[in-house]
Amino acid sequence: MRNPKWHKDELILALDLYFKIEPGQIHAQNPAIIELSQVLNTLPFSEAKTDAERYRNPNGVGLKLSNFLAIDPDYKGKGMQSYSRLDEQVFNEFKNNRALLRQLANNIRATLAQENLVEELKVPITEDEEEDEYSAPEGELLYRLHRYRERNRALVNKKKKEHLKKHGSLACELCSFDFEKTYGDVGKGFIECHHRTPLSELTPDTKTTLSDLMLICSNCHRIVHRGWNILKE
């Protein structure tokens, strides 16, 4: 049975390494490739692996980097031509933005280093969230970290109290929709919370303050997570 397809997080980590080493260093004995293999096996979605010995092993990681060789216009050889559409998409997305690629790779690694946090991020999410998670340019892990921060109950409650005291209602900060005004008592106190910090800048050590949070309705929240820039207007 074949191992599952590579996640975007895995490709971000692999591409970051690809740009750090020379083509001649792409082989299963390279310590950097062995280390990356070990990191990939700590990702919280690696429970889908079919064969523990073959799953993202150094040979497989080396082959993936060889796929990037086939995509890279600066490489004059052939590389491994059996690359996926996602391989090509991720390569083209970051080939001219290696600083962002490095930042994302470092933040993914920093998150994985905190085992207790990774366990928290395994909590099941809704179908709508799963759809947004898979479309997140920064990868699934940082998206889950972002949602985890948004659900800090104590901090969210403080944000609601602060907002109520200042504005007298919990209307959406983007579209002004007020759940209580529309639905009566059943909507009283209901509003979702969005973390303003871009996913690319989010690390396990990021301290969330009330000013980092904004209260928005469910519709606006979905659109923001799909990439709408709340600062563009």
Neighbours of 101 (CB within 10 A): 21
pLDDT at 152: 80
pLDDT at 22: 94
Residue 131 pLDDT greater than 60, yes or no: no
- Comparing 5-14, 38-47, 74-83, 86-95, the range with the smallest average pLDDT is 38-47
Residue 100 pLDDT greater than 90, yes or no: yes
Residue 206 pLDDT greater than 70, yes or no: yes
Q: Which are the contacts of 192, defined by CB distance < 8 A and separation ≥ 6?
A: 150, 215, 216, 217, 218, 221
Q: CA–CA separation, 49 vs 144, rounded Å?
A: 20
DSSP state for residue 197 in the 8-state scheme: S
Residue 81 pLDDT greater than 70, yes or no: yes
Average pLDDT over residues 63-86: 91
pLDDT mean across residues, the chain: 85
Q: Residue 179: in which H helix or E strand, if any? A: helix 179-183
- Comparing 6-10, 87-91, 224-228, the range with the smallest average pLDDT is 224-228
Q: How many alpha carbons lie under 13 Å from residue 54 in its C-beta half-sphere?
A: 8
CA 180 vs. chain centroid, Å, equals 33
pLDDT at 114: 87
Name the residue among 157, 152, 122, 141 with its Cα closest to residue 202. 141
Residue 109 pLDDT greater than 90, yes or no: yes
pLDDT in tens, 31-72: 999 999 999 988 887 555 556 567 889 999 999 999 999 999
Residue 233 pLDDT greater than 60, yes or no: no
Name the residue among 3, 15, 106 with its Cα closest to residue 66. 15
pLDDT at 1: 56
Residue 197 pLDDT greater than 90, yes or no: no
Reading the block at residue 98, the tokens are 């290696």
Q: CA–CA separation, 141 vs 143, rounded Å?
A: 5
| Of 97 and 205, more confident | 97
Q: CA–CA separation, 124 vs 130, rounded Å?
A: 9
Neighbours of 229 (CB within 10 A): 8
Q: Residue 64: in which H helix or E strand, if any? A: helix 58-71
Residue 215 pLDDT greater than 50, yes or no: yes
- Encode 9-61 in three state secondary structure: HHHHHHHHHHCCCCHHHCCCCCHHHHHHHHHHCCCCCHHHCCCCCCCCCHHHH
Q: CA–CA separation, 224 vs 84, rounded Å?
A: 28
Name the residue among 20, 5, 222, 17 with its Cα closest to residue 127. 222
Residue 90 pLDDT greater than 80, yes or no: yes
Q: CA–CA separation, 115 vs 92, rounded Å?
A: 32
What proportion of the chain, given as a percentage, has pLDDT over 90?
A: 52
Assign 232 a pLDDT band (cuts: 50, 70, 90): very low
| Of 126 and 179, more confident | 179
